[in-house]
Structure 1
Amino acid sequence: MKIVTDARTFRADRAWGARDLAEIEGATVRLHWTDQPYRWHVNDGAEVFLVLEGEVEMRYRQGGQEKAVRLGPADMFIAEVGDEHVAHPQGEARILVVERKGSV
């Protein structure tokens, strides 16, 4: 059993550092901290991205055009297989990510 009481204050030693919380039938649940953008990527499985603290501008490509949405606490972005995307935190952010184990 695990009880997580610091999700809003967790801080990793580097941008996109994470704490592994659980593995569920091949999927990982990880708590990330960052203050830097990630990189454009495509996951090999679906990804659920839940902002816990802070704001994140999620950029994605759809129909050959780059689009963006601003996410705040309790907002989610769900990327399906093949969805190209990148997260740009606006300051510090804490994010819960559920994705296939070993995914980018």
Structure 2
Amino acid sequence: MRLHWTDQPYKWHVNDGPEVFVVLDGQVDMHIRDNGEESVLPPKAGEIFHAESGDAHVAHPIGPARVLVIEKAGSV
């Protein structure tokens, strides 16, 4: 479990287990790839993004955002 306070995008990654991404404050554009196509989900404060094992994704905060990330130990 990690708490992030950031205004910088992360990097594309794929977890080897599920990830729960809770936006506590601010807004984040969550970019996801599915079968080679990219789409963007815009979770804002109070909303949750859930990635299954193997889902390619990257978070791009829109200004400062506080995010709680729950994932398997050792994940990216």
What TM-score do you get using the length of structure 1 for normalisation?
A: 0.71
Is 1:45 aligned to 2:17, yes or no? Answer: yes
Q: Runs in 1 of length 4+ with deviation above 6 angstroms?
A: none
* 1:58 corresponds to: 30
Structure 1 residue 102, shift from structure 2 partner: 1.1
Aligned length: 76
Write out aligned runs for 1:1-104 (5 A).
29-104=1-76
Structure 1 residue 86, shift from structure 2 partner: 0.3
Computing the radius of gyration over CA atoms, which structure comes out larger, 1 or 2? 1
Query: Percent same amino acid at aligned positions?
Result: 59
Structure 1 residue 94, shift from structure 2 partner: 0.3
- The gaps in structure 2 that reach 5 residues or longer are none
Letter in 1 for 2:23: V
